[in-house]
Amino acid sequence: MKTMKLTKKAKASLLILLTGGTMTTMSATIEDQSAFEKAINNVKIEYEYEGIYELSQSYSDWKDYKGVDYSCSENHTSVLDQDVSNITDMILENSKPFLKALPEYKELGEEYLDAFEYSLKEVITDMKERCDHEELEAFSHSLSSLAIVETKEDSDALMSYNTAYNMITVYDSVIRSQIMGEEMYFQTLAQNSFLHELSHMEQNPCPCHSLECQPGFGNYVIQEAFASTNYESEFSSYPLEEDLYRLFINSYLFSNSKGTIAIQDAILHNDLKKMIHLFEGESKELYDVMNTMEFLSFKQNDDLNRYYKKLHGKNIDATDRANIRREMYGDFSSSLLKNYTIHLLNYVKNKDIPLDDILFFYKWYLGQLESFYQSYYVTYQDNIDIHSSDYLIYLEKITKQLFQTLAEEYQMKESDIYKRFSSLSSEEDTDLKIKAYVPYHLLDIMNDDVKEQLQMGNYHFVYADEVMNITTNKVYKKEK
């Protein structure tokens, strides 16, 4: 495993990144950050284990992904105007051939029917507000031929959506085991699960194309986490995947006037070209980022084991597996920090934004990266390990470039920028409590209560993990 030596000066400069205090306000206008962007992109993140990624999908195949054809040759949009109970009757009728052919399946029970109708009504209402005619046509075609069955068979999932058969399977025994006899949670869990599978149905092409092209660009984490966070949920079936996804999504927080909406729209429509365009870096780096997410979620253990044995002639042990994932996370975090920081500087360009706020925004995202790292090792690894030396080197380079740019624009010494950064207000317990303002540019897509409070100048601070609940077209702010 490669190592990079961190100088005493570098170590010292990093000690200020997670400390607390108070400060005054200072404003300036950043007019040109092209030199900064060029310097940051010259920080090349070397993914030491990217050879593993080629085992499942080569970079050339990934980049040549053609996308999904969402066109629909049939017109079924009138289905969306029907009462949900009538749509359910149609779906139950569609399900009968599967029930007849497969004895392990049975008709959906009343409790599940109630949950499905609730979820379907929410999805239809939401899609009518945000989707164009072509999207509605494709979804309504899928809905008109959808089948839903229930089974007692075991599964890793609560429910699943089969693209080829356009069918949702409900794993009743798995759902019952999740609620552990607490029937009050049944409806909520069932509703959330149906919302998840209906999101997958929206991600997929309609029956006009379902057998000829498969959606997705080879990323399980992004597809599952998107479906889990597309609608507000009290339960999470994919907590690790969702945490990784939010780190990825939040690196686009300042990417345009709609915050993270553009990247989420690209994910929803399997638009890899748009994802590459939005990413502030080379497409190869995005390929490495997305593949690293797969390995951090433990979905590619077999590939990791094969790669390690090929290199070292022996099976991988728990310690080496944890250390490899530590290195992977260091590279992954560095790429996301680059992406986030360039978008941040692009956003504040030509805007009169207080220096304190820019530093808050930067510290907030560093807090997210650090929080995930600590919780990941506590929850999923055998030991809590220190950061990879590579990550600390990249962190120092990115931070130094940012602070140099801010020092020039605000006509300050770089050392004073570091001091101001280190004196940002924080809680006594800094773990998971890095704070940030709700970004100004999200006002137009925020709920009315939050918007009114902010317009009144009531800038509530919120914990880093509670700034927003990422959803398509929705941003939520939670009170402390």
pLDDT value of residue 218 = 60
Question: What would the mean pLDDT of 85-94 be, rounded to a whole number?
Answer: 95
pLDDT in tens, 439-451: 333 433 334 444 4
The pLDDT of residue 234: 57
* 319 sits in which H/E element: helix 318-348
Residue in the structure block whose two tokens are 């040759």: 73
Of 167, 165, 85, which Cα lies nearest the Cα of 124?
Answer: 85
- Residue 20: per-residue pLDDT: 32
pLDDT at site 36: 80
Query: Phi first, then psi: what are they for 196, rounded to 5°?
Result: -60, -50
pLDDT tens sequence across 1-23? 333 333 333 333 333 333 333 33
Sheet arrangement for strand 105-106 = 105-106, 147-151, 167-171, 159-162
Q: Which of 166-175, 218-227, 350-359 has the highest mean pLDDT?
A: 166-175
Contact 244, 297 (CB under 8 A): yes
Mean pLDDT calculated for residue range 94-101: 95
Does residue 456 register a pLDDT over 70?
A: no
Lowest-pLDDT range, 7-11, 95-99, 196-200? 7-11
pLDDT of 442 reads 40
Q: Give me the chain's average pLDDT, please.
A: 76
Scanning 381-471, the segments in alpha helix (DSSP H) are 389-409, 414-422, 448-455
* pLDDT value for 31: 61
CB distance 244 to 268 below 8 Å: no
Tell me: pLDDT of 407 over 70.
Answer: yes
Q: What is the mean pLDDT of residues 239-247?
A: 86
CA distances from 84 to 89, 99, 115 (A): 9, 22, 11
Q: Is the pLDDT reported for residue 462 higher than 70?
A: no
Nearest to 213 by CA among 138, 285, 286: 138
What's the one-letter identity of residue 202?
E
One-letter amino acid for residue 278 of the chain: L
DSSP 462: E
Four-residue CA torsion sign, 349, 354, 355, 357: negative
Contact 291, 50 (CB under 8 A): yes
The residues, any chain, with a CB within 8 Å of residue 239's CB and separated by 6 or more, are: none
Give the residue-averaged pLDDT of 393-401.
Answer: 91
Provide the residue count of the chain. 480
The neighbouring-strand residues paired with 446 are 475
pLDDT at 161: 93
Average pLDDT over residues 88-115: 94
- Strands of 152-237 (E only): list them: 159-162, 167-171
Bridging pattern class, strands 435-436 and 462-463: antiparallel
Per-residue model confidence as pLDDT tens digits over 313-323 = 888 888 888 88
- CB 143, CB 215: distance < 8 Å: no
Q: Residue 53: pLDDT above 50?
A: yes
pLDDT band, residue 477 (cuts 50/70/90):
very low
Contact between 370 and 438 (Cβ < 8 Å): no
- Asked whether 361 and 251 are in contact (CB, 8 A), the reply is no
Q: Which of 32-36, 120-124, 171-175, 234-238 shows the lowest mean pLDDT across its residues? A: 234-238
pLDDT at 216: 56
At 358, list the tokens.
């820019």
* pLDDT at residue 122 is higher than 90: yes
Distance CA 433, CA 436 (A): 10
pLDDT of residue 214: 53
Residue 265 pLDDT greater than 60, yes or no:
yes
Confidence (pLDDT) at 290? 92
pLDDT confidence bin for 28, thresholds 50/70/90: low
* Domain range summary for the chain, segments of one domain joined by +: 8-66+236-466, 77-215
Least confident range of 72-76, 126-130, 176-180, 442-446: 442-446
Residue 400, judged by CB atoms within 10 A of its CB (0-12, 13-18, 19+), counts as middle
Residue 96: pLDDT band by 50, 70, 90 thresholds?
very high
Phi, psi of 97 (to 5 degrees): -60, -35
pLDDT band at 98 (very low <50, low <70, confident <90, very high): very high
Q: Considering only 86-90, 152-156, 181-185, 285-289, which range has the smallest mean pLDDT?
A: 181-185
> Tens digits of per-residue pLDDT, 328-376?
899 999 999 999 999 988 888 777 778 888 888 888 888 888 888 877 7
> pLDDT confidence of 30, banded at 50, 70, 90?
low
Torsion sign, CA atoms 349, 355, 361, 365: positive
Considering the chain, what percentage of its residues have pLDDT values greater than 70? 75
